[in-house]
Amino acid sequence: MRALTVRPGIKDSLAIDDLPEPPESDGPVLVESLAVGLCGTDVEIVAADYGEAPPDADVLVLGHENLGKVASAPAGSDLAPGDFVVGIVRRPDPEPCRACAGGEWDMCRNGLYTEHGIKGLHGFARERWRAQPDAVVKVDPKLRDVGVLLEPTTIVAKGWEQIERIGARAFFEPKVVAVTGAGPVGLLAALLGVQRGLDVHVFDRVTAGLKPDLVADLGATYHSTSLPDSGVRPDIVIECTGVPAVVVDVITHSATDGVVCLAGISPVGATVPVDIGAINRMAVLQNDVVFGTVNANRRHYEAGAAALAAADQAWLSRLITRRVALDDFTDAFDRRSDDVKVVLDIKK
């Protein structure tokens, strides 16, 4: 079968390989792959900054954001042929640590977890894959075109869950949300904010085009200014850019009792002058919380699937700006300014 692979550690080694069918030892559920979404993590793997092949392989099949259709499943598994499913990216470490043992592999303590298409497990950019029944999440058939957005949605579903758990520490009546970055993760974070009935403000650099339109059509407010310049004082911030100056802006401009969720990964080595005393003073005197979040467990996949099913399907499909045939992967990785989410169509 065809698969999109890289040789970890070798830059630009992306290729279509002919691989054997997935072994039955991978699990009793056989899934026909439909779509794989691409993101910055894939770009980093192609650049050989990242990525680890399975122990018995010298290539890594790429692709963690995924959607597939069950071809066969064991009786009694609550999965049936034709079901639309998404494979859970991270799997618990073999030890397992107490977080993984409790099903919270997104909070893994020892770093020995594996991740499909990233770390030690083949990804989903191949014609077929196999899994254990508990390693996939069934999605509503109406998500057949947009279910590939579930994995990035799980990241913000976890972020929102953590925000609400932190908020529950004391009086919490959030009204205003700021999301920095109008890429797929930022737009999905904004969607979940709107679904909660909050006043959502999205910040990005672009001044025209699809991103401002998508924000407006969601019923949120778009800003091409910075958060400090906008005058918005958010009760909740979800930072999705990782840009150091934006990170400083959000941790210094939340409202009293504010919760700031950091979900964007920054480059290392850029320095920004900050008055750490002023930041500390404000955090203490305003009961501020700043926290980081990564990855997702089954609970977040289920919350994300419910959020996508409740959303306007036409709006979701506009997030997928290009669908590229697997064989045209070079084109898919050729980043264009108007791209939001680029998806590989595995069936084409």
Name the strand (E) or helix (H) holding 67: strand 65-72
Find the Cα–Cα–Cα–Cα dihedral 42, 242, 166, 203, rounded to 10°: -110
Tokens, residue 184? 């797929």
CB 177 within 8 A of CB 193: yes
Q: Least CB distance from residue 106 to Zn ion, whole Å?
A: 10
198-257: contacts with Zn ion (CB under 5 A): none
Closest CA to 173 of 255, 268, 65, 84: 255
Q: Least CB distance from residue 99 to Zn ion, whole Å?
A: 5
Q: Least CB distance from residue 137 to Zn ion, whole Å?
A: 16
Q: Based on CB atoms, which residue is closest to Zn ion, 100 or 182? A: 100
Q: Based on CB atoms, which residue is closest to Zn ion, 39 or 283? A: 39
- Number of residues in contact with Zn ion, rule: CB under 5 A? 7
- Alpha-helix runs per DSSP H in the chain: 40-46, 98-101, 150-167, 184-195, 210-218, 227-230, 244-252, 276-285, 298-310, 313-319, 329-333
Distance CA 87, CA 325 (A): 20
Q: Based on CB atoms, which residue is closest to Zn ion, 197 or 267? A: 267
24-43: contacts with Zn ion (CB under 5 A): 39, 41
Q: Least CB distance from residue 220 to Zn ion, whole Å?
A: 23
- Please report, for residues 24, 124, 180, the alpha-carbon distance to residue 15 in angstroms, rounded to integers and kept in the order given: 25, 14, 34
Query: Which positions from 113 to 152 touch Zn ion by CB under 5 A, shown as an x/- string?
Result: ----------------------------------------
Q: Based on CB atoms, which residue is closest to Zn ion, 100 or 251? A: 100
Q: Least CB distance from residue 286 to Zn ion, whole Å?
A: 33
89-108: contacts with Zn ion (CB under 5 A): 93, 97, 100, 108
Residues that bind Zn ion (CB under 5 A): 39, 41, 65, 93, 97, 100, 108
